[in-house]
């Protein structure tokens, strides 16, 4: 009675190994919802891949991966004093902290713990990082030797948005390396750009990859929901919390999967204007009601939500009496795995 993600294990792991082989210095990223798989599972996969370092998003996520992954753990969100758990995290010698402000670097340098840090450089992404103009200050703080510099880090926009990030990546990395020799860490470089940088920069390189590693390749992932109930309804009958009248005789199919799983009401139908609705209504279409299409496929078609998804269940309408599923049937549900929470992950042998 749940939403399930099924993955052919051998294919998934073969894809992971291909990414690893093509990416010397790979740092897998496991953050947030764990790309649909969950953080613990990804930490285990990273350990099996044999990488020495795993990246997580936030300080709180360190605890989730720590028991399943024995190597070093980078926190991508910059370290900030006063954040919950920030000071405690400094006691964990396996953790590498990202530093994006000179004042935070000063704080860490004075902590007496000599924490491991990645020095983040501000890119055209404009999320976090120290600007080139601040590097004189960085040099001054590093002279105290209060931190262990693990590398410079450069988090770039999507290559598709910029037409390629190689030039910016190289310029920034070289600027950092002029201040302190250390490995250069990148995010969102194409494989070709990364290869070029590895050949040009006289230092070690690391590339952080999440989506392509866990969700890329031609791996036949399937997500399914379970039919929890089926009810016959007549045209005009009112159903659901909001008592919407049904446009035709048919069936209400109640499915596992709701807002808690990341199932959202997608944009309502485009037939928004009165005139369009009238045309649709004349054509006997449910679009006339401004209903939204659901991500659930029954008998080969994405079905209409009767009303917005509930917390853990959804109600869809199937007109007529053909192709009505039975209670307990599993039907395909389309989920965006970076926002979804499934009840169960099944690795199929």
Ligand X SMILES: *Cc1c(COP(=O)(O)O)cnc(C)c1O
Binding site for ligand X (CB under 6 A): 29, 31, 76, 155, 187, 208-212
CB of 125 or CB of 227, closer to ligand X: 125
130: DSSP letter: B
Closest residue to ligand X in the complex (CB): 210
Alpha-carbon distance of 70 to 329, in angstroms, equals: 40
| Per-residue tokens: 144 | 């105290």
CB of 74 or CB of 246, closer to ligand X: 74
| Per-residue tokens: 312 | 């853990």
Q: Is residue 165 classed as helix, strand or coil in its secondary structure?
A: coil
CB of 204 or CB of 323, closer to ligand X: 204
* CA-CA-CA-CA torsion sign (309, 314, 315, 320): positive
CB of 188 or CB of 251, closer to ligand X: 188
Rounded alpha-carbon distances, angstroms, from residue 242 to 179, 315, 320: 63, 12, 22
CB of 181 or CB of 211, closer to ligand X: 211
Q: How far is the CB of 188 from ligand X (least distance, A)?
A: 6
Which helix H or strand E contains 13, and what residues bound it? helix 9-22
Q: How far is the CB of 250 from ligand X (least distance, A)?
A: 41
| Phi and psi, residue 198, nearest 5° | -60, -35
Residue matched to tokens 């910016």: 168
Q: How far is the CB of 199 from ligand X (least distance, A)?
A: 22
Cross-strand partners of 153:
120, 185
Q: How far is the CB of 187 from ligand X (least distance, A)?
A: 3
| Nearest partner of 340 among 309, 317, 302, judged by Cα | 309
Alpha-carbon distance of 184 to 114, in angstroms, equals: 20
Alpha-carbon distance of 74 to 117, in angstroms, equals: 9
Q: How far is the CB of 189 from ligand X (least distance, A)?
A: 10
Q: How far is the CB of 208 from ligand X (least distance, A)?
A: 4
Number of H helices, E strands in the chain: 11, 18
CB of 116 or CB of 187, closer to ligand X: 187
Let me know: does 333 contact 2? Beta carbons within 8 Å: no
Alpha-carbon distance of 231 to 62, in angstroms, equals: 46
CB of 78 or CB of 257, closer to ligand X: 78
Q: How far is the CB of 221 from ligand X (least distance, A)?
A: 16
Burial class (CB in 10 A: 0-12, 13-18, 19+), 162: middle
CB of 125 or CB of 289, closer to ligand X: 125
Q: Is residue 187 classed as helix, strand or coil in its secondary structure?
A: strand
CB of 56 or CB of 135, closer to ligand X: 56
Q: Is residue 35 classed as helix, strand or coil in its secondary structure?
A: helix
CB of 28 or CB of 258, closer to ligand X: 28
Q: How far is the CB of 50 from ligand X (least distance, A)?
A: 19
Alpha-carbon distance of 31 to 43, in angstroms, equals: 10
Alpha-carbon distance of 40 to 44, in angstroms, equals: 6
Q: How far is the CB of 210 from ligand X (least distance, A)?
A: 3
Q: How far is the CB of 201 from ligand X (least distance, A)?
A: 18
């Amino acid at each position: 009675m749940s939403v399930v993600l099924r993955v052919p294990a051998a294919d998934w792991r073969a894809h992971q190994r291909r990414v690893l082989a093509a990416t010397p210095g790979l740092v897998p990223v496991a953050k947030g919802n764990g790309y649909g798989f969950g953080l613990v599972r990804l930490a285990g996969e990273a350990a099996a891949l044999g990488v020495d370092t795993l990246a997580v998003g936030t300080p709180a996520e360190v605890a989730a991966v720590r028991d399943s992954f024995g190597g070093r753990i980078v926190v991508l969100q910059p370290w900030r004093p006063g954040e919950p758990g920030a000071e405690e995290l400094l006691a964990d010698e396996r953790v590498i902290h990202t530093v994006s402000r000179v004042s935070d670097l000063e704080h860490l340098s004075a902590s007496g713990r000599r924490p491991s840090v990645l020095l983040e450089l501000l890119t055209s992404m404009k999320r976090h990082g120290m600007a080139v103009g601040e590097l004189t200050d960085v040099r001054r703080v590093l002279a105290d030797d209060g931190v262990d510099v693990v590398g410079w880090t450069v988090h770039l926009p999507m290559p598709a948005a910029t037409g390629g990030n190689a030039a910016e990546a190289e310029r920034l990395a070289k600027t950092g390396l002029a201040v302190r020799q250390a490995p250069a860490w990148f995010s969102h470089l194409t494989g070709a750009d990364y290869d070029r940088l590895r050949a040009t920069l006289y230092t070690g390189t690391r590339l952080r990859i999440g989506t392509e590693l866990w969700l890329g390749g031609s791996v036949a992932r399937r997500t399914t929901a379970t039919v929890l109930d089926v009810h016959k309804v007549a045209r005009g009958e009112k159903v659901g919390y909001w008592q919407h009248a049904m446009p035709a005789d048919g069936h209400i199919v109640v499915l596992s999967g709701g807002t808690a799983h990341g199932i959202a009401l997608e944009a309502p139908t485009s037939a928004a204007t009165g005139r369009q609705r009238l045309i649709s209504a004349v054509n006997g279409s449910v679009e006339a009601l401004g209903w939204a299409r659901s991500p659930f496929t029954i008998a080969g078609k994405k079905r209409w939500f009767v009303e917005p998804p509930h917390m853990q269940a959804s109600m869809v309408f199937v007109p007529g009496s053909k192709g009505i599923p039975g209670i307990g049937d599993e039907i395909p549900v389309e989920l965006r795995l970076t926002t979804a929470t499934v009840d169960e992950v099944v690795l199929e042998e």
